[in-house]
Amino acid sequence: MRKLGKYICTAALLLASVCAHARSMTSARRDFIKGPMTVKILRIIDGDTVVVRAHVWIGENMDTSVRFSGMDAPEMHAHCYKERVAARAAKAAVAKLLKDNKMVISNIRLEKYAGRVLAHVETTDGLDIGRYMIKKGLARPYYGGHRKPWCTPSGDYRP
């Protein structure tokens, strides 16, 4: 009986710790940094996500993935061939826009996936990348929630 009480106590402490961590992450996701902040592009993942290096303090840099807010681009590893083709075109367009390997981010907040932030993104010349990609038909507006598929079940692409 004593052993059971010890296990229950340990489980309760573990549960309290997990709940406290979840509350702190939820609170952190509501926080945001207004910016703007100029960051260095390390790698382009796809048409709406890049890996950057941000100078966060004197002598301190941080590498993180940035998801572009307000847009959704086709996925590079989609099941639909036409979506993969569109994804390569979107990635190439982002690479061309960010040819100086820098971009400006603002309204930065934690994204729902750990280790990634969501931010408004512009080129160093002030071009809104999300608006540009949507206007060119390389992405579509997206503000959270369930994403619409890019292809029909029969494999037809629908931008």
> pLDDT digit string (tens) for 119-132?
999 999 999 999 99
**Same domain for 42 and 9?**
no
Give the lowest-confidence range in 33-37, 92-96, 142-146: 142-146
- Do the domain assignments include residue 130? yes
Q: Does residue 119 sit in the same domain as residue 71?
A: yes
| pLDDT mean over 41-49 | 97
The pLDDT, as a whole number, for residue 29 is 56
Domain count, the chain: 2
Percent of the chain with pLDDT over 90: 65
Residues 40 and 79 both lie in one domain = yes
Alpha helices in 31-128 (DSSP H): 81-97
**Residue 119 shares a structural domain with residue 47:** yes
Residues 66 and 42 in one domain: yes
Integer Cα distance of 94 and 132 in angstroms = 10
Residue 113 in 3-state DSSP?
coil
Q: Tally the residues of the chain.
A: 159
Compute φ and ψ for 45, nearest 5 degrees: -80, -55
Residues 59-76: what's their mean pLDDT? 96
pLDDT at 114 over 90: no
* CA–CA separation, 4 and 36 (whole Å): 54
Contact 140, 132 (CB under 8 A): no
User: What CATH number does residue 123 fall under?
Assistant: 2.40.50.90
One-letter amino acid identity for 11?
A
Termini Cα distance of the chain: 63
Domain extent, residue 53, equals 33-142
- In the 8-state DSSP scheme, what is residue 117? E
* Three-state SS at 57: strand
- Do 22 and 66 sit in the same domain of this protein? no
Q: Are 48 and 140 within 8 A, CB to CB?
A: no
* In a shared domain, residues 63 and 101: yes
Residue-wise pLDDT for 90-109, tens only, equals 999 999 999 999 999 999 99
